[in-house]
Structures are given as C-alpha cells and as structure tokens.
Chain A
Amino acid sequence: MIAETGLAALWLATALCALQLVFGIMAVRGRDDLAAAVRPVAVVQGLLAAISFLMLIWLFLRTDLSVELVVRNSHSEKPWLYKFAGAWGNHEGSMLLWVTVLSVAGSLVAFFERRLRENTLIATLAAQAAIGLGFYAFLLFASNPFARSTPAPEEGMGLNPLLQDPGLAFHPPTLYFGYVGLSVAFSFAVGALMTRDVGADFARAMRPWVLGSWIFLTLGITAGSYWAYYELGWGGWWFWDPVENASLMPWLAATALLHSVTVLATRDSLRAWTVMLAVVAFSMSMIGTFLVRSGILTSVHAFAVDPRRGSFILALLVLYIGGALLLYGLRVGTVREGKKFQAVSREGALVANNLLLTAILGIVLIGTLYPLFVETLTGEQLSVGPPYFNSTAGPLALILIAIMALGPLLRWRKDDWRDLINRISFPILFSALAFAGLMFFVSPIGILPTLGIVLAVGVGAASVAPLWKRNLRRTPMFTYGMVIAHLGIAVALAGMASESAFTEEVLVATTPGQEHEVGPYTVRFVGVDPVAGPNWTAIEGQLAVTRGDGEPFGLMPQARMFASPPTETNEAAIATSWDGQLYTVLGNSDAQGRWQLRLWWKPFVTLIWLGGGMIAFGGLLSLVGRVRRERRSALREAHG
C-alpha cells in the first residue's frame, strides 16, 4: 500500500505539474482567469511530491522487500541512518529527491513570493513546471522507484559497508540542493524574460535562492575537497579532476550571479548580464551532471554508467538551455539598459569580479572538455592537469581576490581613487609587513605562494575594514555575512599558500625501528600488521609519533586491497594540531623487507577547509539577514 500511495502521489504531482505549465503559459498570454489557479497548483504539486518521497523513505525504514529498489539497495540489518539515506543513495531514489526538492522549491516560491509582479511570478512557476515535467517523465517512464519485485526475496542485497559512510549519505543531497536552487534562479530569469520584467524586484525575488544554493555548493565543494584529501592518500586537496570541476563550475557561475544580482537589486544595473548568468549557472549544473553521469569523462570518481541516462540528460540540456537561450536572443534586446555607473565604483568592482569569475569558469570548462574533445576527434588520450589550471586560473584568482578586498570599501555609482587608497592604507601596510617578513625570515618560496600569503594578509585586514567605525550593533546581518565570507576567502587562501609553500615531504624506504624527521615531528616506524575489514584486507603500518617533548602517539596508515573490483587504496593516517597536519601514507614493501613510507608536514593546511566553512557560514548570515529585511519591508508595505 505504501508503494502504491507513493506512486499515486507521483502521478498526481506530474499531472498538476503539467497543469501548472499549461495554465501558467495561458495566463501569461492573456487568460487572466487561469492565473489564480497557478499558485495553489504549485503548492499542492510540491506537497504531493514530498508525500511520494516520504513514502519511499518509509519503505526503506521498514525494509519493505516487496519493492525492487529496497531489495537492491537495502538490508534489514543496516543501521537505520543508512536505511534512511539509502532512499536516495541510488539512481531512482536520487531522481525522486531531485524532483521533490524542485517541486517543494516551487511551492515555496508560490507561497511566499509577494513582491514580484504577478504575471512574472506565474511565468516563473511555468518555467519551474517545465523543468519539473522532464524529470517526472523520466522517473515514471524510465526509473520508477516504486516498482514491485515478485516474489519478494528473503533479504535485501544492499549491505555494502563501503557505502555506509555519513559523508556519502549527505554529500549528494547537499549538491542537489545547490543545483535545484540554481534551477529556481533559472526559472526566475526565464519568467522575467517572458514578461519583460527584468528589474530590481526580480533580482530581490531571485537573490535568496541564489544565496541558498551557493551556500550548499560551497559546503559540498569544501566537504568534497577534504574527502579527496583524506581518502585518496595523495596528500593534495584539489586535483582538477573532471568531477571536481563539474562541481566547481556551477559554484563559479553562482558566485558571479550572487554578486551581479546584488547590483541589480540595489542599483538596477547589469540586467541582461544577470539573466545570462542565471541561465549559465543552471546550465553548468546540468552539464556537470551530464559529464559525470554519462561516463564520457575519465575520472578518479567512478560512477555507475548508463548511456540511456546520458542521452536523457542531453535531451533536457537541449530543451532547457536551448529554450532559455532562444528566449534570451528574442527578448533581451527589449530589456532596457539599467542605471549607469563609473568605472571606479562598487558596481565597477563587481563587474570586474563577474568578468574574472566568468573567465575562470571558461578556463575550467575548456580544461575539463579539452581531453574529451581531442579523444573524440583523434582517438588520442591525454589529460589536462594542475600545470594548466594553476598557471591560468591561479593568477586570475589572485587578481579577483584583490578586487574582492576593494569592492566593499567602494561607494556605489562613483568613487575617487585617492579616497580608496586612504581607506586601504592599513591593509596595504599589513601586506607590506607580511612581504618583508617573508623576505627576511623565510627561505625563498615561489612567486604564487608569496603573492598568496601577502594577499591573504592584506585581504583579511581589508575584509574586516567595512566594519571600521560602524555601530556594530546596528550593522545589518548581511553585512556581517559578507565580511565573514570574504574573510573566509582570505583564510582559505592563506591555507592554500602555506600548504604549497611550506609543505615538507619525506619519502623513505624504512625498516622497523627507524626514525624519520618531518616538520616538528619525529616518526618511528614500529612495523606492519595485516588487518581484515568487511570487504577488504590491508597492511597497517604502526607509527609512533612524537613532537618535541610531547607524549608519543600512534598513527596507523593502511594500504587496502579490495577483491571486487580488484583495487588498492591508501588510507592516510592524519594527526591534526593547531598549526597544521602530519599526513602519513604507507606504500609497498620491496624485496629486502623495507616499507615505503610517505610523510608530509603541511603547516596550516586546515585553514583551507576552515575558510570554506566560513564562506558558507557568511552566506548563511547574509541569507537570514536578507530574508528578514525583505519580510520587514513587505510588512511595512502591507500596513501602508
């Protein structure tokens, strides 16, 4: 019964979604009598999708083995958390989650959005329904999560301990929230184009969705970076791997959009550009999903590959991106030019920010697709790695961060260079001190790391500068949000620069009893032990580590062997202290019984993820601050 209820709710939601699309388009084209129906339909559609998803969760919690999906992906003895997460840890369930988040987002827009012009809102809901309908169709006709299995087996097959990881349970939903938020921004852009209503109100309505999705994308990327650092055992925190790039590209576009939408909301400038970015941001999340799921790219992240899914996502790409850009070509000529501003102004800094972000996005996109392009045309295999990305995107990112420090200190519309230099005198002083410190007290490091550290110090100081001489209690929450997010960028930059400049690496072939120095640590190799895990066997290295006169502690890096498929992984063992991490990896043994041991001392590497967390937290403060202010001014308007 639960499965049937879920399926029925899904069909009903699909029907309402179709109705929302048809009514929405007819209402925008003049049938005003239908307009009143669109909001309620959108709300109910979201509720039905949520019911359908709750039914699926219920089936998983009960381990209902008459349902095919539960049989394939769950097991009665699984811990309940993984039963719960199992509902979306597979293709069908994750598609249902995607559609549910999409429809619930549509409901929220329909329910809460009051300030946008009514026909623009209805056009937005129609666009949202168009996106939803494609995914509903795919669910119902090609990946029904509620299909029965007859006869019901005794036990489920999904007790794969490898997948029982809290990170894996919550990583996909985080990225989905991010992608769906961008789809709402996309719908707003399409709606505003349809009704020729690209202006400040449109930007204010869209902004919380862009911010929300940006927070989730930031969290997803930060967590993914730490996961790769921890799990792959290569000691790096970013590999420019296609799957990483696929999540970075929507983030870059969303960051640009976040800033241009602020210009549009506050100053009514950058109209066409903001619409374009909204389309690009959603396109990037679709392209990312396509590249990852269709299997046309090689990556360290292996995903189950199904060409049918690839062609489906490709069809949606054609439909949505093609449709939106067609509308853009037809309509954007009629969007009036926004308010003017001078080059030296906050708008000017934000335009520079947008251009640089877009340039970096282009660099990453080209670098990610180039190997595929060459392989498809010539059959030759090659890979584009850090040397390309670091030398092209790196300098641009440094310029971008410098401008980020200036932007908040500039006035809107027009400003004066000389005043600006006054305002940044302190940060420049700090940077100069940092530079002098590096020159006199530290052995020479590369140009990029030097620039990175000097810039991080100055930018850190400059990001706090907007609070200077302000009444801190009356400073709006979103200003704090911006300050913290910008400071987070400086903190992360400091971590990256410190990691690349001061990392010490020791690679030794060692025998039991030998001691090795790395950074402030002394590592003694005690020996190795075989250990067996749920579906792997490993050799575990025993390391006794001391720092100065401190107590010794143990670290146990593992080299794991999986039987099916036959793969080897390295489980790094990491010791974290306030000033960095000791990262240890065990390698193979040679014929003389010596073991390869790789030790890294990475000073302040943790700042990278601390910064990522601060960026997301700053985004959250901004979101809460913005929503509160919008509600207050909406109330004020309502009371006249």
Chain B
Amino acid sequence: MTSESNRLILWVPLGIAGIFILFFGYALFFGNANPQQKTIESRMVGQPVPEFALDPAVSNHPGLTSANLATGEPRLVNVFASWCLPCITEAPQLTALQQRGVSIDAIAIRDRPQDISNFLMRYGDPYQRIGADVDSRVQLAFGSSGVPETFVVDGEGVIRHQHIGEIRPEDVPVIMQALEDAR
C-alpha cells in the first residue's frame, strides 16, 4: 500500500505541469489575448469631412464649416488647444508650412478666446479660420483622439491624411508630400 501510494506521488509533478500547460494552451488559443495600446487611427481617412459648422474661436478669425474645406485646393486642418504643450512644440513647423504657401485652418478644442489669443501671440498665428469646438464633438467626428492632430483635406473636402501628435521638423516633408498627393 505504502509503496503503491509512493509510486503515485512520483506522477504528481507531471499531473500539475499538465494542468498548467492545458490551461496555458486554452488561454493562448481561446482566451482574449490583450490587444496592445496602439495609435488610434481615424477611419475617416478617405472619407469626406463630416458635416459641421463651428463658431469663430477668436474675434479676428472667421469660424470653420465643412463647406470651407472644399475649396479646390488641398489644405490642412490642425486640431489644437492653447492648453496643450505639444502644440507649442509644433507651432514653428506650422508657421514654416504656412510660409511655404500651405493654407491651414484650425479647430480649437475646449478652449477660451482669451487663452487662444495669448497662445497665437506668443507662438505664432499660421491659421486662416479657427472654429471653436467647445465639447470636442467635431474632433470626434473627424476621428481624432487627442491634440494635436493634423488632417490633410483635398480640394473636394475628402480627408486624405492624418498626422497624430505634434509636427516635428522631420515631419514637414511628409506633410508636404501628402499635400502634393492630394492634388
């Protein structure tokens, strides 16, 4: 009896390992392996811009509507906010793009007129139109999940390219190329 039960004990480790391995296999093939955090890309790329009409965000710029974006020429829509630090970092690049003849409109997210004016005074004002998106509704309709983001919209008002995060100096050629491709 004793030797019999001793013999069984020898197989306990294999049994435990077997249970673990079966479980691992089940978790691997039938469990929901965790998706890793990814950059959230807009599904709107390739689609016409959503219908919207935004009031002016500051007094010295007109507001922005979807009609303003189908002008026959490709242009940029910059989603930004005065409270957003990366937006400060990208300001020189936006100015550089504007100086190269690019038309840039902006959507200001959850912002106040006075703060936006200060921001434009300190960091440069490359924008033609600035729409106030006080509750992020238009931002979400664009498929944008954060600030700053920049969209390339072609002459027919179709979104052709999305840039997530601040525009760094090395991104400027990429944006120029996207604008060229949108012609």
Give A residues with C-beta under 8 Å from B: 276, 279, 283, 287, 290, 294-298, 302, 304-305, 307, 310-311, 314, 317-318, 321-322, 325-326, 328-329, 332-333, 369, 372-373, 375-376, 530, 532, 535, 537-539, 561-567
Contacts and interface: CB of A to CB of B under 8 A. Distances in A.
A296 B33 contact: yes
Contacts of B50: none
Given A276-B13, A321-B17, A566 B34 contact: no
A452 B177 CA distance: 63
A565 B17 contact: no
Interface in B119-168: 145-146, 164-166, 168
Nearest to B30: A376
A314 B38 contact: no
Contacts of B18: 322
A369 B85 CA distance: 40
B37 A567 contact: yes
B11 A329 contact: yes
Contacts of A376: 23, 26-27, 30-31
B14 interface: yes
Contacts of B6: 333
B33 A307 contact: yes
Given A328-B13, A565-B38, A566-B146, A375 B21 contact: no
B52 interface: no
B31 A537 contact: no
Given A333-B10, A375-B31, A314 B17 contact: no
Contacts of A535: 168
A279 B32 CA distance: 30
Contacts of B37: 302, 565, 567
B89 interface: yes
A561 B146 CA distance: 12
A564 B24 contact: no
8 contacts: A310-B33, A318-B21, A322-B14, A329-B14, A530-B88, A561-B85, A563-B164, A566-B165
A532 B28 contact: no
Given A530-B85, A539-B85, A325 B165 contact: no
Given A305-B33, A307-B28, A317-B24, A564 B14 contact: no
Contacts of A302: 36-37
Nearest to A304: B36
A351 B146 CA distance: 58
Contacts of A562: 165
Contact of B27 (A296, A321, A329, A539): A296
A295 B164 contact: no
B28 A296 contact: yes
Contacts of B20: 287
Contact of A325 (B13, B30, B31): B13
A67 B32 CA distance: 35
Given A326-B14, A530-B89, A566-B165, A321 B21 contact: yes
B39 to A, nearest CB: 5
Interface residues of B, number: 37
Interface string B28-67: 1111111011111000000000000000000000000000
A103 B27 CA distance: 32
Nearest to B15: A325
Contacts of B26: 376
A317 B21 contact: yes
Contacts of A537: 85-86, 88-89, 166
A369 B24 CA distance: 10
B33 A563 contact: no
5 A-B pairs with the lowest CB-CB distances in the bound complex, closest first: A563-B165, A325-B14, A376-B31, A537-B86, A329-B11
Contacts of B38: 565
A31 B168 CA distance: 69
B16 to A, nearest CB: 9
B100 interface: no
A332 B10 CA distance: 7
B21 A314 contact: yes
Given A375-B31, A530-B88, 4 more contacts: A294-B28, A530-B85, A532-B89, A561-B85
B31 A328 contact: no
B25 interface: yes
Given A307-B33, A333-B10, A566-B146, A314 B89 contact: no
Given A314-B25, A376-B23, A563 B166 contact: yes
Given A314-B24, A314-B28, A325 B36 contact: no
A596 to B, nearest CB: 15
A407 to B, nearest CB: 26
A4 B140 CA distance: 52
A305 B36 contact: yes
A532 B7 CA distance: 67
A326 B26 CA distance: 22
Q: Which of A326, A373, A537 has the most CB of B within 10 A?
A: A537
A328 B16 CA distance: 13
A564 to B, nearest CB: 5
Contacts of B24: 287, 290, 296, 314, 317
Contacts of B28: 294, 296, 307, 310-311, 314
A302 B38 CA distance: 11
Contacts of B31: 296, 372, 375-376
A307 B31 CA distance: 11
